[in-house]
Amino acid sequence: MGSAWWSGVTDLAQRYGPWAVIAGGSEGVGAAFAHQLADAGINLLLIARNAATLAGVSAEITAAHTVHVRTAVIDLAADDMADKVAASTSDIDVGLLVYNAGAASGPQLVIDQSPDEIMRLIRLNTIGQTLLARHFGQSMAAQGRGGIILLGSMGANAGCMQLAVYSAVKAYTLTFAEGLWAELHPLGIDVAALMIGRTRTPALERSEYGQDSGIPAAEPDDIARFALANLGAGPVLVPPELEAAFLALRAMPRRQAVETMTRALAPQTRR
């Protein structure tokens, strides 16, 4: 892919380089961001738990581009996560954070979920992104430039049966990004919650247990391209094909929104 797709900022590397950190960069949307940022000449630190998939993405990128690629095997839900990420980036200038972690583990009633599973979702989607946004936001503010992308979800618009914890933590992502934008945008930093719907990723495959719900899915490359081309238009980025649904759900009475969300996702949440 060439650089002609970039139309929002004349020089992506100048605005958001020289390094980008992608938390959850081993597959799916995170890997798509990695390839597109490397295409723009930005060096990468990819973070994930799975060393093998991280190594695979790193090898693909270094084979196709001249950028530097580092990997860090870190559990983003661990108590010492922020310290480990800070240590891994202490000698590089990070101009972009993409927080791509936090996919649902699968449809399940709250009363049937284990406490560990619930707390992992909460840590990934609230604590992890907050601490990393704080850490990298400090250095970006000192330089007067940078960008932060937090991966949100259309599920943030209403609670949903069998996805109650997931929709709740994604609502945090949306509101946190809005507040963070209000704080950092005046300092020259672009912040956005990227509100995506069903996307064709390995995480989706795992959450649906290999079943095809029949609901159309977006492609990770398209999602990443849209986000990078529109990052300056934050604090909330909604792909055009989802905008009408996003606005409708936000305007509905809450019970109607919950019932609509639960009904719409029934094919996806049905095991």
For residue 227, the Cα-to-chain-centroid distance in whole angstroms is: 10
For residues 155, 160, 164, 168, the Cα torsion angle rounded to the nearest 10 degrees is: 40
d(CA 207, CA 270): 11
Considering 84, 166, 172, 209, which one is annotated as catalytic? 166
84 is catalytic: no
- Number of C-alpha atoms within 13 angstroms, CB side, residue 173? 37
* Three-class SS of the chain: CCHHHCCCCCCHHHHHCCEEEEECCCCHHHHHHHHHHHHCCCEEEEEECCHHHHHHHHHHHHHHCCCCEEEEECCCCCCCHHHHHHHHCCCCCEEEEEECCCCCCCCCCHHHCCHHHHHHHHHHHHHHHHHHHHHHHHHHHHHCCEEEEEEEEHHHHCCCCCCHHHHHHHHHHHHHHHHHHHHHHHHCEEEEEEEECCECCHHHHHHCCCCCCCCCCECHHHHHHHHHHHHHHCCEECCHHHHHHHHHHHHCCHHHHHHHHHHHCHHHHCC
Considering 99, 170, 172, 209, which one is annotated as catalytic? 170
Catalytic machinery residues: 166, 170
